[in-house]
Amino acid sequence: MAITVRKGLIFNEESRVIDVIRDIAEVVTLSNGDTISAAAFLNYFLFPYPTHYQLVSKLSGGERRRLYLVTVLMHNPNFLILDEPTNDLDIFTLAILEEYLASFKGCVIIVTHDRYFLDEIVDHLFVFQGEAVIKDFPGNYSQFNAYRKLKAKEVNRILQDSLLKKEKPRSTVTNPDKLSFKEKKELETLENEIAQLEAEKMNIESALSSGTLSATGLSEKSERFSVLLMEIGLKSDRWLLLSEKEG
């Protein structure tokens, strides 16, 4: 009897597709509590009913990978680790997987180079910054990329301001008041604004970790959190610049 092993799953080549599924369960419980028959679950993952009685030995490589995915998901896991799923699955299966994960109630960790897939699925990124530093960014790849560009732009502006300051000839007139009246008011305003933003950030962090948010609420809070991080970073940099000038 021929046996095929793919990613830890052993397929009996003489089994029918529906038998592989029914050996696990006749009924599949989804993450939202709904139930669906094993046959309907197969159909959802692009195995039309006429193919259910096809032998595993007749399946293509893509169909085998899709069947393996079905056997994993029908166990209704609460934690999934997907390692480069876009390398192994065709575009149609990926579309179904994205739809499935959009309503998935558990935790998903994805390792992938596919930025589009990240944007569609994730609400947090683990950003590896080197020297064993890993930051948790609340948002998808596009949001992180926008934040990174804004941060780099602001850092560059601060560096340019610093260089211009160094190049200016020293005044022979001593001026103990290094900040103008307008800059002093700006410094005071920044302190208040940063405090308010930090308070809002703490509230959102508590909400995100509460586990009580809906999918829509989680998305809205995550987007607002990424905006807050940008605002706090930019205002803090400006506050630091004025503070150093004040001495």
Domains annotated for the chain, with CATH where assigned, are 3-122 (3.40.50.300), 134-166+179-246 (no CATH)
Q: What is the CA radius of gyration of the chain?
A: 27
d(CA 15, CA 134): 46
CA atoms of 209 and 116, how far apart (whole Å): 26
Give the span between the Cα atoms of 241 and 161, in whole angstroms: 9
Average pLDDT of the residues in 59-72 = 86
Between CA 189 and CA 197 the distance in angstroms is 12
Predicted local distance difference test score (pLDDT) of residue 166: 58
Q: Is 34 helix (H, G, I), strand (E, B) or coil?
A: coil
Taking only the tens place, the pLDDT of each residue in 120-174 is 888 889 888 777 788 888 888 888 888 877 777 776 776 676 666 655 555 544 4
User: Bigger pLDDT: 105 or 41?
Assistant: 41
CB 105 within 8 A of CB 127: no
pLDDT of residue 98: 87
Question: What's the whole-number mean pLDDT along residues 71-83?
Answer: 86
- Contact between residue 157 and residue 150 where contact means Cβ atoms under 8 Å apart: no
Alpha carbons 74 and 66: distance in angstroms, whole number: 12
List beta partners, residue 9.
Answer: 6
The tens digit of pLDDT for each residue in 215-242 reads 677 777 777 877 787 788 788 877 777 7
Average pLDDT, integer, range 35-39: 88
The C-alpha atoms of residue 165 and residue 149 are separated, in whole angstroms, by 24
Whole-angstrom distance, CA of residue 153 vs CA of residue 144 = 14
pLDDT of residue 18: 92
